[in-house]
Chain A
Amino acid sequence: MGSSLPQKEANLFKVIVKSYETKQYKKGLKAADAILRKFPEHGETLSMKGLTLNCMDRKSEAYELVRRGLKNDLKSHVCWHVYGLLYRSDREYREAIKCYRNALKIDPDNIEILRDLSLLQAQMRDLTGFIETRQQLLTLKPNHRMNWIGFAVSHHLSSNVSKAIEILEAYEGTLEDDYPPDNERYEHGEMLLYKISLLEECGLLEKALEEMQKKEAKIVDKLAYKEQMASILVKLGFLEEGEKVYRSLLFMNSDNYRYFIGLQKCLGLYSENGQYTSDEIERLDALYKSLKEQYSWSSAVKRIPLDYLEGDKFWEAADCYVRPLLTKGVPSLFSDLSPLYDHSGKASILEELLLQLEDSIRMTGSFPGRTQKEPPSTLMWTLLLVSQHYDRRGQHDIALAKLDEAIEHTPTAIDLYSVKGRILKHAGDLAAAASLADEARSMDLADRYLNSECVMRMLQADQVGLAERTAVLFTKDGDQHNNLHDMQCMWYELASGESYFRQGDLGRALKKFLAVEKHYADMTEDQFDFHSYCLRKMTLRAYVSMLKFQDKLHSHEYFHRAAAGAIRCYMKLHDSPIKATTEEGDEMSKLPPSQRKKLRQKQKKAEARAKKEAEEKTEEEAFSGTSKPGKRQHTRPVDLDPHGEKLLQVEDPLLEATKYLKLLQNNSASSLATHILSFELNMRKQKILLAFQAVKQLLKLDENNPDCHRCLIRFFDKVSSFPAPVTDSEILIRNVLEAELPKISQLHGRSLVEVNQSFLEKHKDSLMHRAAAAEMLLVLEPEKKLEAIKLIEDSTNKLAPVNGALGPVREWKLEDCIAVHKLLETVFIDEDAASRWKARCVEYFPYSTYFGGCRSSAVAFSVNHNIQNAPENGVLAYQEAKSEESHSLNGKLHAFKDLTI
């Protein structure tokens, strides 16, 4: 480095490099300028100056200098390396790899460059390249631990596990017997555990076990050791030993469900689906009874039996389980019990049990069969639990009545208001739900959870502005949006985007959805630092599992929702293109052309000015920030498109949508929604074969799903309307379809009308299937519209088989009924049928604001003109505005009080 310079300047060059490494950029800049005064075209100095400026946020100068430096000294590996580093800092990894490779052509054994290259290859999952580079590094520096480990990991990542083990063993062979020294015991132990997990992974279980026994003393993480040991013993079928290990693990932590499952497996008492014979249940019961004696403080040991017990025994266990928790007051008790509701038998027992408890406490103040008085709060907690029970069973009126009683009893218990909001949401009154959540929030303004829940409810009720103002109360600096974005607050961005979408504001919706997509891209970026860190720190098991997590990062639900949302926005944009999106646009269309041009120029100027100002601002801050390096990271470019208007001005919305569809297809292939979106998108793009693929996928996933049926019928109806194929590609498509057709069993020898008919026959008791069949009947035979509507209207809302003790539950779901109403309104375009449907549903869903139910806030508010009034102790303010004149609010006036005015 710094070659071809005289001694003095060569020393100065070393100063630049040193300053860069120690982040003393000003010093480095001075040294660079000193060299350049004498040798203005010295390539490596120019490059290093550019790299230094890059760290001082002077990007454009940096690129210019680095490129000039390279041009002046194409044979310098330093210049190429610097160019690579510059690209790497801008996350242009492919370009960076190219630069590194050029540098290595000049200096093939440069360790630093090889190491930097290997990090990029790991990041880009260029596994072949990664192995090569790691091998080179090991050959060059075999005395470095990290090089052995890196080489092993590279083989593991490309699924060559046995090779990875070989390398680790070869590495162990280079070590002295007394290895490791005290300060490296942890790292060495991690390496051993990693090796053992590799042995387990490739099925060499005996060897893994042997290794564990041999190396026990050298493994520092005793917990991980035991867990690994237990897992291997079970796989080998050494159940007795396994049992011992699991029992000792339970001794360390008696609330870890995995240990209980492990122990059950060792005893032959575990079934994946939770089904047990009566003999097994008895043995399980005995097991947990003895465990309960040993670990009386464990809550898992009390909760698990509720999963396998049945009948009277379940009743007894549930009774014992809930009583102390009701006395203590555990707001999360219902969500703890909630999984039990999947067995309808247990749900009914719980109902009886809870009602009995409620009754006893109300009448005697004690639990049944007890004389000890419960604290007054027990009644309130019991009422809460009973209320949540009825909510879960869909009996919202009873749920709300119980909850109102609890609020009357203790109007200061915040959980009651949150739960009431949740029930109202389930019952279909989103505005009232938001207002209850807000009331809960107001009772403890320091509680972030209550704030978040309230924001969520407001977004669900499409009160986006209010939600934003509420969320801001908890974000730092009151810097609202940007800050939620920085915190990667995705639930907020998704709910907000979905609300904007419902309200037809596609720009803002897209903005939010794309923000979520950006977070996932950032998470992919975030792994970069770990490639070197984890190898150095030897946290290999965590490292590899992090890489595997990253590989399927985009299959996460939040990403799925964001991508689906973005695709829907783009399709809507395609279906009804927006001509003038902004208010200015509307104004513009009214103006004569000459003025329009002027206005447009003016707008452009204003935009450019704003952009320039923003850039200047960041630059200024960057300069003033150099003395305080910590601060510089906080500056950010001003958002030039806060409302997402520019996002709407894409050339081809469907092309944009395709980008996100591909991510969904690669990462969420087992989701119906993915293929339904693919169908919709490809039908719009006239990509017949791709649409057909979507149909095939859908039929494979669930041929009985109403939406899958819709896609099937719509696809073949569309195909049959095509004119005879003329061009080569049309003929090709026709041929492919004809070849594929026999594979679609639904269509064998039947017309589409018949297919639709038999689908209806098969699912004639289900509302959503009938609606799908009706809609397809309309597609196939538009003249049979009335018959199709009759199909929908003839559906009956039966009583659900679960039979509540306090009243019947019907089968239809609110969201389904709303979907049917929208179908009648927008697809059948039949006002009368839609209003008949509405009149019918309003009976079933009295709390629904959509149907204008008699108990919904939509009706209550319009009668009382009183939306602004804050709710009063959980009762939405239907009364007139209160003043000092108003009398009893909660009915309890006297006794033990004094007053003043």
Chain B
Amino acid sequence: MGMISLDGVRDKNVMQLKKLNTALFPVRYNDKYYADALSSGEFTKLAYYNDICVGSIACRLEKKEGGAIRVYIMTLGVLAPYRGLGIGTKLLTHVLDLCAKQNISEIYLHVQTNNDDAIAFYNKFEFEITDTIQNYYTNITPSDCHVLSQVIAQNHRKK
């Protein structure tokens, strides 16, 4: 019933990402977050539904020891009225596909321990809880978080 499309984040439209984050998350992100998102290139995307921006995925590319790159998902979110339409799935699969294409083997993220919906969502995409960090958040309760991660097999999803 609606058209979903993805678009990159640039200086000219980064405000859309800020608007989404303001609406979606109880945290105010700092300049570094946006700098990381902009420099991650294709790994950060806005999702449009009938030409309205309604969701986003923002990633940071991290260099591991030895020079390999891993992807950290900073945020993934869709405006409440537009959930359940496959927009989150489209955003996440875009990033997973990109990882496979670029032979990036590790992708991970943090999630608040009580956020069952999110954990279930990531489980569907073969993410697993690999660690739990106490007192990760300073201003929200519960303050603990899980680390969800996935090791992407080489050539997996490759076209």
Chain A interface (Cβ within 8 Å of chain B)?
328-329, 373, 375-377, 379-380, 409-413, 442-446, 872-873, 882-890, 892-901
Known A375-B50, A377-B2, A892-B23; further 11 A-B contacts with Cβ < 8 A: A375-B1, A380-B81, A411-B20, A444-B15, A873-B19, A887-B26, A894-B115, A895-B118, A899-B25, A899-B137, A901-B138
Question: Is B95 in contact with chain A by the CB < 8 A criterion?
Answer: no
With A and B bound together, what is the CA distance between A872 and B19 in angstroms? 8
Q: When the two chains form their complex, are residues A892 and B80 in contact, meaning their CB atoms are under 8 A apart? A: yes
Contact with A along B22-56 (1 / 0, CB 8 A): 11111110100000000000000000011111100
Question: Is B16 in contact with chain A by the CB < 8 A criterion?
Answer: yes
Min CB–CB distance B150 → chain A (angstroms): 14
Q: When the two chains form their complex, are residues A412 and B80 in contact, meaning their CB atoms are under 8 A apart? A: no
With A and B bound together, what is the CA distance between A377 and B79 in angstroms? 11
Q: When the two chains form their complex, are residues B54 and A886 in contact, meaning their CB atoms are under 8 A apart? A: no
Min CB–CB distance A483 → chain B (angstroms): 21
With A and B bound together, what is the CA distance between A328 and B49 in angstroms? 11
Min CB–CB distance A323 → chain B (angstroms): 14
Min CB–CB distance B43 → chain A (angstroms): 15
Q: When the two chains form their complex, are residues B23 and A411 in contact, meaning their CB atoms are under 8 A apart? A: yes
Q: A375-B1, A882-B28, A892-B23 are in contact. Are A445 and B12 (CB under 8 A)?
A: yes
Enumerate chain A residues within 8 angstroms of B88, measured Cβ to Cβ: 896
Give me 7 A-to-B residue pairs in the complex whose CB atoms sit less than 8 angstroms apart, sorted by A's number: A376-B85, A411-B19, A443-B13, A873-B23, A885-B139, A894-B117, A895-B118
Q: A377-B49, A445-B12 are in contact. Are A890 and B22 (CB under 8 A)?
A: yes
Identify the closest chain A residue to B3 (Cβ). A375
Q: When the two chains form their complex, are residues A900 and B79 in contact, meaning their CB atoms are under 8 A apart? A: no
Enumerate chain A residues within 8 angstroms of B101, measured Cβ to Cβ: none
With A and B bound together, what is the CA distance between A893 and B139 in angstroms? 14
Q: When the two chains form their complex, are residues A899 and B110 in contact, meaning their CB atoms are under 8 A apart? A: yes
Q: When the two chains form their complex, are residues B79 and A896 in contact, meaning their CB atoms are under 8 A apart? A: no
With A and B bound together, what is the CA distance between A893 and B12 in angstroms? 27
Min CB–CB distance A423 → chain B (angstroms): 20
With A and B bound together, what is the CA distance between A373 and B16 in angstroms? 27
With A and B bound together, what is the CA distance between A901 and B75 in angstroms? 10
Chain B interface (Cβ within 8 Å of chain A)?
1-2, 11-13, 15-16, 19-20, 22-28, 30, 49-54, 72-83, 85, 88, 109-112, 115, 117-118, 121, 137-139, 148
Enumerate chain B residues within 8 angstroms of A380, measured Cβ to Cβ: 52, 81
Identify the closest chain A residue to B1 (Cβ). A375
Enumerate chain A residues within 8 angstroms of B22, measured Cβ to Cβ: 411, 872-873, 889-890
Enumerate chain B residues within 8 angstroms of A892, measured Cβ to Cβ: 23-24, 80
With A and B bound together, what is the CA distance between A890 and B51 in angstroms? 22
A-B CB proximity, top 7 nearest: A898-B111, A376-B81, A412-B53, A445-B12, A446-B12, A890-B23, A897-B77
Q: When the two chains form their complex, are residues B118 and A893 in contact, meaning their CB atoms are under 8 A apart? A: no
Q: When the two chains form their complex, are residues B19 and A446 in contact, meaning their CB atoms are under 8 A apart? A: no
Q: When the two chains form their complex, are residues B81 and A898 in contact, meaning their CB atoms are under 8 A apart? A: no
State the majority secondary structure of interface residues on B.
mixed
With A and B bound together, what is the CA distance between A373 and B1 in angstroms? 9
Identify the closest chain B residue to A882 (Cβ). B28
Q: When the two chains form their complex, are residues A375 and B75 in contact, meaning their CB atoms are under 8 A apart? A: no
Min CB–CB distance A880 → chain B (angstroms): 13
Q: A896-B88, A897-B76 are in contact. Are A409 and B19 (CB under 8 A)?
A: no
Enumerate chain B residues within 8 angstroms of A899, measured Cβ to Cβ: 25-27, 75, 110-112, 137
Q: When the two chains form their complex, are residues B75 and A883 in contact, meaning their CB atoms are under 8 A apart? A: no
Identify the closest chain B residue to A374 (Cβ). B1
Q: When the two chains form their complex, are residues B54 and A901 in contact, meaning their CB atoms are under 8 A apart? A: no
Contact of A898 among B53, B80, B110 (CB under 8 A): B110
Enumerate chain B residues within 8 angstroms of A444, measured Cβ to Cβ: 12-13, 15-16
Q: When the two chains form their complex, are residues A445 and B28 in contact, meaning their CB atoms are under 8 A apart? A: no
Most chain B CB within a 10 A radius of its CB, from A328, A445, A896: A896
With A and B bound together, what is the CA distance between A897 and B112 in angstroms? 9
Q: When the two chains form their complex, are residues B50 and A897 in contact, meaning their CB atoms are under 8 A apart? A: no
Enumerate chain A residues within 8 angstroms of B110, measured Cβ to Cβ: 898-900
Q: When the two chains form their complex, are residues B118 and A412 in contact, meaning their CB atoms are under 8 A apart? A: no
Min CB–CB distance A561 → chain B (angstroms): 33
Q: When the two chains form their complex, are residues A329 and B23 in contact, meaning their CB atoms are under 8 A apart? A: no
Contact of A328 among B30, B50, B72 (CB under 8 A): B50
Contact of A901 among B20, B24, B27, B50 (CB under 8 A): B27
Identify the closest chain A residue to B80 (Cβ). A892
Q: A443-B16, A899-B110 are in contact. Are A893 and B53 (CB under 8 A)?
A: no
With A and B bound together, what is the CA distance between A900 and B36 in angstroms? 13
Q: A886-B28, A899-B27 are in contact. Are A442 and B52 (CB under 8 A)?
A: no
Enumerate chain B residues within 8 angstroms of A882, measured Cβ to Cβ: 28
Contact of A896 among B54, B78, B148 (CB under 8 A): B78
Q: A373-B1, A896-B118 are in contact. Are A445 and B79 (CB under 8 A)?
A: no
Enumerate chain B residues within 8 angstroms of A376, measured Cβ to Cβ: 49, 81-82, 85
Q: When the two chains form their complex, are residues A898 and B117 in contact, meaning their CB atoms are under 8 A apart? A: no
With A and B bound together, what is the CA distance between A443 and B16 in angstroms? 6
Enumerate chain A residues within 8 angstroms of B73, measured Cβ to Cβ: 898
Enumerate chain B residues within 8 angstroms of A884, measured Cβ to Cβ: 27-28, 30, 138-139
Enumerate chain B residues within 8 angstroms of A896, measured Cβ to Cβ: 77-78, 83, 88, 117-118, 121
With A and B bound together, what is the CA distance between A888 and B80 in angstroms? 14
Min CB–CB distance B33 → chain A (angstroms): 8
Q: When the two chains form their complex, are residues A897 and B24 in contact, meaning their CB atoms are under 8 A apart? A: yes
Min CB–CB distance A411 → chain B (angstroms): 5
